[in-house]
Structure 1
Amino acid sequence: MKKLRGICLGAGYFSRFQYEAWARIPEVEIVALANRSLDKAREAAALHRIPRAYAWADLAAMLDAEKPDFVDIITPPETHLEVVRLAAARGIAIICQKPIAPTFAECETIVETARRAGVRLMIHENFRWQPWYREMRRLLDAGMLGELFSINIRTRLGDGWQDDAYLARQPFFRTYPRLFCYETGVHFLDTFRYLGGEITSVYTRFQKRNPAILGEDAAQIVCGFASGATAILDASRYNESDAADPRYTFGLVRIDGRKGHVELDLAGKLTLKLLGQPTRLLDYPHTRGGFAGDCVHALQRHFVDCMMSGGPFENTGEDYLKSTALMEACYRSQATNQVVTLP
C-alpha cells in the first residue's frame, strides 16, 4: 500500500494531538515537520519519531525536497496564508487549523488561493467530530426527535481565572484582543450549524472576567436558525465546572425536538427521553483516548479517506467561511448591542 506523505507545521501545545492521531493512521507517513523555533521542531520530531525537522525559513525548500501529498498547518492563524500560498503553488493538498486567519478578508484569500490552484483544502475544525455530536446528528437525521426546537450548550472550562491564565498551554491567548468567540466560540457555532443547519441571526453579550488578559473570556450567544429553531451558548473560560476533565465534552448539551429531547453530561453520557416515555441511556462509541472523544483522529481519518477516495471533505474551506462569518457577526452584535442578521 502506497502511503500518503505528509508534512506538519507546528510544535505547540495542540500539535501533539495531531501528531499522535497521524501515527495511528496506517495510510499516512509524516516525513518532516517545521516550526518557527527550530529547537522545538527538533524536539517534536524526536518525540513523534519524524525523520526530519526544518527551520521556518526553509519552508519552500522543505516542500520541494519532501514532495508531500499534503501539509498539515498547526501554527497560529497569522502564519497560515504564507503556507497556503507555498503549498498551493506546488499543488499540495492542505489541512489547516482554525481560526483560518486573523481577519475575514484573509480567510477568504486563503480559501480562494486554494480554489484557484485547484488544491484540496480542509479546515481542522474538530468539535463536530466529537462522538456525542455525531450521535446527536444521527438521531436528528433519523427523525428520533422530530422537528428541531432548540440546542442549548453550557460550558465552564475554568482555565482562565488565574493570574497566569493560559501561560502554560497557549500564552498567546493572553494578548488576543478577541479571545473567546474567535478561538473557542467558533467551535460551537460550527457545531450548531452541523446539528441544526444554517443560522440567519445572532445576538451576543461578551464579558472579560479576568483583568490579566486582553480579550473576552465569557459569552452568551443566541442563534436563530433558518428553520425557526434556536441555539443558545452560555460559556465561560473563567468559571469552573464540577468535572474532573472539563475539556472532555467541553460542556453540557440539551437538544429539544417535537418528539422529545437528548442530553449530554460532562462524562460523555447521552440520554434520550421521548415525550411520555422514560429516559433511556444511549449506547454509542466514545473514548477517553486522544482529545475530546478522539475527535482529532476522527477528523484526520476522514481527511485521509477523502484523499484516497477522491470524495468531498466535510470541513471544506468554503463551508468554514460560513462559521467564520457567524463569529464575525457575533462581534458586530456585541459592538452594536443589536441582533445581526445573515444572508
Structure 2
Amino acid sequence: MSDNLTVVCSGTGYFSQFHYEAWNRLPGATIVGVNNRNRDKAMEFAQRFNIGDYDNDLQRLLERCKPDLVDVITPPETHLQAVKIAAGLGIDVICQKPFGENLEQAQEMTRIAADAGIKLIVHENFRFMPWYRKIKQLLDENRLGEVLNVEFKLRPGDGQGPEAYLARQPYFQQMPKFLVHETAIHLVDTFRFLFGEPNNLFAKLRRCNPHIKGEDAGLILFEFQNRIQAVFDGNRLLDHCATNTRRTMGEMEIAGTHGELRLNGEGGILLREFGRQQWVEQPYEWRDQHFGGDCVFNTIEHIAAHYLTGAALENQGFEYLKNIEIEQAIYHSAHSGNLIAF
C-alpha cells in the first residue's frame, strides 16, 4: 500500500483526456509524466494538465520518473512494447483495451508481466459504468429471481457516412476488426461481470457503412452456464432514444422469474415485478459527466484503491484473456457459421 500513487500516462489521443482528468481528480494520486511519440503533443498535455515532466521516449521517461504505474492509453499495436519496457523496469501497467492486437499478443503480455513480477491491469471501463454496478447489486439481491433472458441493443448512432468516427477516433475507419474487437468486447466483459461464464455462442457480423474496413453491425447469441440466453444486437449506424446516445451506448433488458429490468439511454433503471404492469424506477447515485457516467474515473478510482488501501482488484491481464478468447470465438463463429462451445 502507498500514501501517494505516482503515474506516468502514455498517450494523448481523444480518449486519453478522460484518464488525465480522472487521475488529476483522484486524491492520493499524481501524474508525474506524459509520454507521446510526438514530443510537442506530450508537452501540450503536460501543460494542459499541469504535469511536471514529458518525453517522446517511454523508457527514458519511466527511468527518470520512477512511477508506481504507467497508464498505457495508446492503440493496440503499441501495447506489447510498452509492457516490455515497463516490465524491464519493474513498473506495474494499466493497459487500455483492446488489450493488444490479438489473443497471442495478449497472452505474451501476461507472460511478460508474470515473469517480471509486475501487475498488468486492463482498463475495461464498461463494467464500472454506474448503471451496471447498480444492476449487479439488484441481481445479487435476487430482485429478478432466476434470470433467463437478456438483450443489449448497441445503438450509438455515430457510424454513418464517409465522415464516421473521423472527428473523434479516425483510426476506427481502418480497423479490419471493428465492432467486436473495439466495442462489443466491452459488453462481453460486462455480460461476464453480470451473468457469469458462457457455455457457447453463435454470431453473425456484417459491415453496413462501406467507408470503413471492419464490421460495424452484428448479432451474437450467448448461452451461459446458469441457463441464461443473452443477445448482443449491435449496429453503430443506428441510434436510440437518449439525449446523449454515447452515454449508455444502447439499452438493456433482463428478464427473470420474479420480474423484468430495463436500462434506458438516460441511465434510468426500471423494474417491473412479475405479473404487474407498473414499472418502478430504481434510485441510485451517479455522475452524468465525461464518458459513460464517469466510468473512467470509477475505473481508475477502483485501481487506485488497490494500491492505496489494499482493496481487491478486478480485470488483471490474466483474467481478461477470457474476454479475448470469447472475441476470437465470435469471429470464428461468424466466419464458419458454426456454434462455438467453450
Pairwise TM-score range, normalised by the shorter structure: over 0.9
Partner of 1:337: 337
Provide the C-alpha distance between the structure 2 equivalents of 1:2 and 1:155, rounded to a whole number of angstroms.
Answer: 40
Secondary structure of the structure 2 residue equivalent to 1:273: strand
Give unpaired runs (5+ residues) of structure 1: none
Partner of 2:318: 318
Provide the C-alpha distance between the structure 2 equivalents of 1:138 and 1:269, rounded to a whole number of angstroms.
Answer: 15
The alpha-carbon deviation at position 243 of structure 1 amounts to: 2.2
The alpha-carbon deviation at position 311 of structure 1 amounts to: 3.7
Per-residue displacement from partner, 1:183-221 (whole Å, max 9, x unpaired)? Answer: 001001111100100012111111111111100011111
Provide the C-alpha distance between the structure 2 equivalents of 1:40 and 1:208, rounded to a whole number of angstroms.
Answer: 34
1:133 correspondence with 2:132: yes
The alpha-carbon deviation at position 39 of structure 1 amounts to: 1.9
Secondary structure of the structure 1 residue equivalent to 2:60: helix
The alpha-carbon deviation at position 262 of structure 1 amounts to: 1.0
Provide the C-alpha distance between the structure 2 equivalents of 1:322 and 1:107, rounded to a whole number of angstroms.
Answer: 10
Work out whether residues 10 and 58 of structure 2, in 8 Å CA contact, stay in contact via their aligned partners in 1: no
Mean Cα deviation higher: 180-189 or 32-41: 32-41
Q: CA RMSD in A?
A: 1.2
Provide the C-alpha distance between the structure 2 equivalents of 1:240 and 1:251, rounded to a whole number of angstroms.
Answer: 8
The alpha-carbon deviation at position 91 of structure 1 amounts to: 1.5
Instruction: Letter of the 1:23 partner, please give it.
Output: N
Partner of 2:15: 14
Per-residue displacement from partner, 1:228-255 (whole Å, max 9, x unpaired)? Answer: 1111011111123332311101111111
Instruction: Letter of the 1:137 partner, please give it.
Output: K
> What does 1:169-248 align with in structure 2 at a 5 Å threshold?
169-248=168-247
Work out whether residues 11 and 35 of structure 1, in 8 Å CA contact, stay in contact via their aligned partners in 2: yes
Runs of 4+ aligned residues of structure 1 deviating over 6 Å after TM superposition are none
Report the count of equivalent residues.
Answer: 340
The alpha-carbon deviation at position 285 of structure 1 amounts to: 1.0
The alpha-carbon deviation at position 45 of structure 1 amounts to: 1.4
The alpha-carbon deviation at position 312 of structure 1 amounts to: 3.2
Work out whether residues 206 and 334 of structure 1, in 8 Å CA contact, stay in contact via their aligned partners in 2: yes
The alpha-carbon deviation at position 308 of structure 1 amounts to: 2.1
Per-residue displacement from partner, 1:103-160 (whole Å, max 9, x unpaired)? Answer: 1100000111111211111100000000110011001111111112122101211111
Partner of 2:50: 49
Provide the C-alpha distance between the structure 2 equivalents of 1:125 and 1:304, rounded to a whole number of angstroms.
Answer: 14
Provide the C-alpha distance between the structure 1 equivalents of 2:82 and 2:310, rounded to a whole number of angstroms.
Answer: 23
Partner of 1:254: 253
Partner of 1:290: 290
Mean Cα deviation higher: 309-318 or 232-241: 309-318
Work out whether residues 151 and 192 of structure 1, in 8 Å CA contact, stay in contact via their aligned partners in 2: no
Provide the C-alpha distance between the structure 1 equivalents of 2:33 and 2:144, rounded to a whole number of angstroms.
Answer: 47
Per-residue displacement from partner, 1:278-316 (whole Å, max 9, x unpaired)? Answer: 321110112211210111111100101111233431111
Instruction: Letter of the 1:35 partner, please give it.
Output: N
Per-residue displacement from partner, 1:77-102 (whole Å, max 9, x unpaired)? Answer: 11011111111122111111011111
1:307 correspondence with 2:307: yes
Provide the C-alpha distance between the structure 2 equivalents of 1:302 and 1:243, rounded to a whole number of angstroms.
Answer: 28
Secondary structure of the structure 2 residue equivalent to 1:13: coil
Provide the C-alpha distance between the structure 2 equivalents of 1:95 and 1:11, rounded to a whole number of angstroms.
Answer: 15
Secondary structure of the structure 1 residue equivalent to 2:255: strand
Partner of 2:165: 166
The alpha-carbon deviation at position 2 of structure 1 amounts to: 3.5
Provide the C-alpha distance between the structure 1 equivalents of 2:290 and 2:297, rounded to a whole number of angstroms.
Answer: 8
Work out whether residues 73 and 96 of structure 1, in 8 Å CA contact, stay in contact via their aligned partners in 2: yes
Secondary structure of the structure 2 residue equivalent to 1:292: coil
Mean Cα deviation higher: 94-103 or 312-321: 312-321
**How high is the sequence identity, in percent, across the aligned residues?**
39
TM, length-normalised to structure 2: 0.97
Secondary structure of the structure 2 residue equivalent to 1:249: coil
1:89 correspondence with 2:99: no
Work out whether residues 290 and 297 of structure 1, in 8 Å CA contact, stay in contact via their aligned partners in 2: no
The alpha-carbon deviation at position 13 of structure 1 amounts to: 0.5
Per-residue displacement from partner, 1:39-95 (whole Å, max 9, x unpaired)? Answer: 22121111111112211xx21111111000100000001101111111112211111
Instruction: Letter of the 1:211 partner, please give it.
Output: P
Provide the C-alpha distance between the structure 2 equivalents of 1:312 and 1:102, rounded to a whole number of angstroms.
Answer: 28
Instruction: Letter of the 2:24 partner, please give it.
Output: A
Provide the C-alpha distance between the structure 2 equivalents of 1:102 and 1:227, rounded to a whole number of angstroms.
Answer: 31
Provide the C-alpha distance between the structure 1 equivalents of 2:65 and 2:106, rounded to a whole number of angstroms.
Answer: 27
TM, length-normalised to structure 1: 0.97
Work out whether residues 202 and 223 of structure 1, in 8 Å CA contact, stay in contact via their aligned partners in 2: yes
Secondary structure of the structure 2 residue equivalent to 1:248: coil
